[in-house]
Structure formats: C-alpha cells, structure tokens
Amino acid sequence: MYSGGGGGGHYDGGAGGAANANALFSGGGFMPSQSTAVPESSGGGLSKGRNAQTLLPLTVKQIMDAEQASDDKSNFAVNGVEVSTVRLVGRMLNKVERVTHVQFTLDDGTGRIDVNRWENESSDTKEMADVNDGNYVIVNGGLKGFQGRRHVVAYSVRRVTDFNDVTHHFLHCIHVHLQLTRPKSQVNANLGNPNQANQLRSNNQTPGNDPSSLIMNVLNDPTITHLQQGVTLDYVLKRVNLPEAVVRKFLQKHVDEGDIYQTIDDNHFKSVVNG
C-alpha cells in the first residue's frame, strides 16, 4: 500500500525522470487506498462534516476542476465529496525561500498549482532544505482558495526517493475515484434480493464467496504486498481452486474496473490496494 513516504534508492528528479512522468501522466486528469478513508455521500448530496478532513489523493487537474462546495469560496468538492486535505505528488519548480515560508510550484503532469510551506519549527526548515527544483515531492496539505486562485498550504513536503511512489500515487487516485463514482458491484447490490440469495445457494456459493470476491481476497492478501511483480495466474488458480477460464474472466473484469493491474506481463497481477 502506498504509505505516502519515500523509500529505497535515491531518485534525483532529473530530466529523465521528468520525461517518464510526463509521458505517463500528461493530460491524464486522473480523478482520484485503503489507508484513505473514503467517505460515502448520502442522498446524492455533498459529504460534509468530518469527511471534509479526510486526506484524499488528487491530481492538480482534479483540484482545478473541483466544484465550489458552498457559498464559501474556500470550500471545494470532488465527485460530490467536500474536501479540504489533499495529497499531491509531482515535480517541484520555481522554489523561492522567504523569511517565514517557502513557495514553489508543483507540476504533476496534469497541471500546476502553487504551494506554500510555512516554517514554524526548525524541523520545517530542515524538511524544505532537503528538496529543490527538479525533485519529485509528496505534498500533504490543505486546499485553499483566494481571489479565484487555488493553492495548497502544505503540512509536509517529502522528497521522492523511490520513483514507484509516483506511480503508486496515480494508481491511488484512480482507485479512490472509482470508489467514489462507480456503482457497487452487482453481487453486492443484490445481496438483499431473495432471488440472488437462492441463486448463490444453488451454485454452492455464499455472499462474499463468489468467484469475484474469492479472487479479490487473494489479490488483497496482505502477505503478498511485498511482491513487486504481484502474483501469477497459476498462484491465483491454486488459491481459489476454480477453472482457469472462470479465473481469467474475473481477472479481466477487475482489470477493466481498475481494481487490479497487470505488471510485467499478462499473467502477473497486483491489486491497487497493495500498490
């Protein structure tokens, strides 16, 4: 799972990395893990209250496209969810050090946004001294609006030291976006339907024990999160004990829905939750 911090070997955010990131994400406008508590909106209205404080992984384009949540021009909503605390990952540009704070522009390939990091403690100053123009950074902060312009007041700015963190962030954005926008799966939607329950029983299945759930239980198994290449088709077949044609069908279904993705080839799979 994407932890929001860097790890592994040093990544300097050089020109090669910038080109790779722009090639992967330019113009994507991805709309937004298990670590992010995704709020549910009731009645189709905006999700308010404590949900507004939920940390959401976003892209710059998503922030720029966010709706005004109310007459208060400083409140924003994404996919009907009021949001104030965000996570962004992108390249630092135009860093300016001032007496009390540091200003810079964050470019994530979908757009650019201004970021302010106030230096109230010596640890804040040390944190900002570790990042420079050209570095990829992870920014957690509050989304603000002033005179029609949107910006982020950062609570933390961390240099990316493993470029996988950039990929994980965008997968995280996609996963959360799908959770907020797509209908619940047909199985879950029909669990309260007696006909659906009878059909499950006739197939010797129980709610949560259907092929789709069995396969996702394997892919979401926390014991395999360390496997960078995910797991093989053969591994899934052994775990679920289902015909290969059935397993392939549901694996493709979950790939299409954004729950899982293929890694080194068509027979290696990894859950976006295990990023």
pLDDT at 243 over 60: yes
Residue 219 pLDDT class (50, 70, 90 cuts): confident
Report the 10 Å Cβ neighbour count for 259: 22
Domains and CATH numbers, the chain: 15-179 (2.40.50.140), 185-271 (1.10.10.10)
H or E stretch at 102: strand 101-107
Per-residue pLDDT, 239: 87
Per-residue pLDDT, 81: 80
Are 56 and 86 within 8 A, CB to CB?
Answer: yes
Q: Highest-confidence range of 51-60, 131-140, 180-189, 212-221, by mean pLDDT?
A: 131-140
Number of Cα atoms under 13 Å in the Cβ half of residue 230: 24
> Shortest CA distance to 108 belongs to which of 176, 29, 4, 177?
29
> Shortest CA distance to 25 belongs to which of 172, 157, 151, 155?
172
Residue 259, token pair as written in the block: 């729950």
> Shortest CA distance to 218 belongs to which of 227, 182, 171?
227
**What is the arithmetic mean of pLDDT over 254-267?**
83
pLDDT at 105 over 90: yes
pLDDT at 269 over 80: yes
Condensed to tens digits (0 to 9), the pLDDT of residues 32-50 reads: 333 444 444 433 444 443 3
Condensed to tens digits (0 to 9), the pLDDT of residues 122-177 reads: 888 999 999 999 999 999 999 988 777 899 999 999 999 988 889 889 998 888 88
Higher pLDDT, residue 112 or 212? 112
Residue 66 pLDDT class (50, 70, 90 cuts): confident
Are 61 and 111 within 8 A, CB to CB?
Answer: yes
- Please state, in angstroms and rounded to a whole number, the distance separating the CA atoms of residues 185 and 84: 29
Residue 47 CA, distance from chain mean position: 19
DSSP letters, 138-200, are EEEEEEEEETTEEEEEEEEEEE-SSTHHHHHHHHHHHHHHHHHHSPPPHHHHTTT-HHHHHHH
